[in-house]
Amino acid sequence: MWQPQGHHRPMPLAPSMSSPTYYAGQNPSKVPECDEECAEEECNPDACGDEHRPPKDDHHTCGVDTRPLLPLGLTSSALLSAVVMLVVQLPLLSGSIGLAITLYIVFGTLYLVTIGCMAYCIFCDPGTLRRDQEDVRRAHKTWLYKKPVRRYDHYCRWLCNCIGLLNHREFALMCTGLVTMGLTGAFVDVIVLCLLFQDWDWISAILICFHLAYSTTILVLAGPILKIHIGLISRNELAAEWKRNDYYVTERDGKLIPVNELDDEEFNTKFDSFMYDKRRNVFDKGLVGNCLAFWCIPRWAPDQLGEF
């Protein structure tokens, strides 16, 4: 029997992406690692709400719900980042009309897609059932909606909305866009700061330093989230299933048993040896099949229940 080779680390709240993957009859491989604290876990559930409950009333200020402050801050900071990049940095960076047009198209598209997906995820219906149906696989009832959400993934406190059938792809695009904004933004910031040494402008320098701080922060926050969801999508595993340990096993007496059958003490002791068991996930069709299912299966058909 294969012995897991997981590395040791602090105990997180759910199986991390460093858990090995078990394939029957094959050598196991590791899924993407993510030891960092997810930005979602940094939010106070009493103030922001979580998977199972709304925010407490005593976190209202003057009777006003403070939950929208997170999505408002996320959206406004992205917009300010776009303004600094397009108005301050690109004019300093582009030396010719052709290069300027190319940079404006590339970065304009990046910001437009990212902020557009962000707004869509905040305001759209994530995919609630259109009629009363029972036993819809992968659907989940949350406090935010009266009906279950099809292909429910998770509740995002940064967006104050659930992620499900109708906005999961947009959420993945948003996370990818934020990480790309952070990487390219930091790279451009450093280049422009170097150029400013030749013709120093304090106002531009201060704005660019703030933009560099924003780019670094967004990388630290969004990077681990994107890392987690790349692993989940590659296995056709939803975040809700991951948090419930639905597809994870560990070894006991030479046999593989579901981790949810362990008592608390054994669960904590064996945590670093948890393995993803592909056989337990009937939706896992392999890397290519999972990616095609996630990105290509139509989701807006009236009879689409998200059971894929």
- 251: its two tokens: 């070894």
State residue 21's pLDDT score. Answer: 45
Structural domain spans, the chain = 45-53+65-236
- Map tokens 């990480």 to a residue: 179
Q: Could you state, in chain order, the average pLDDT of each consecutive group of 10 residues for the chain (308 residues)?
A: 32 38 41 41 49 56 71 93 90 74 92 97 94 87 92 94 97 98 93 79 84 94 96 96 94 89 89 92 96 96 91
pTM: 0.79
- Site of tokens 């009832």: 141
Q: Which two tokens stand for residue 36?
A: 């960092």
pLDDT tens digit sequence for 112-150: 999 999 999 999 999 999 887 878 999 999 988 999 999
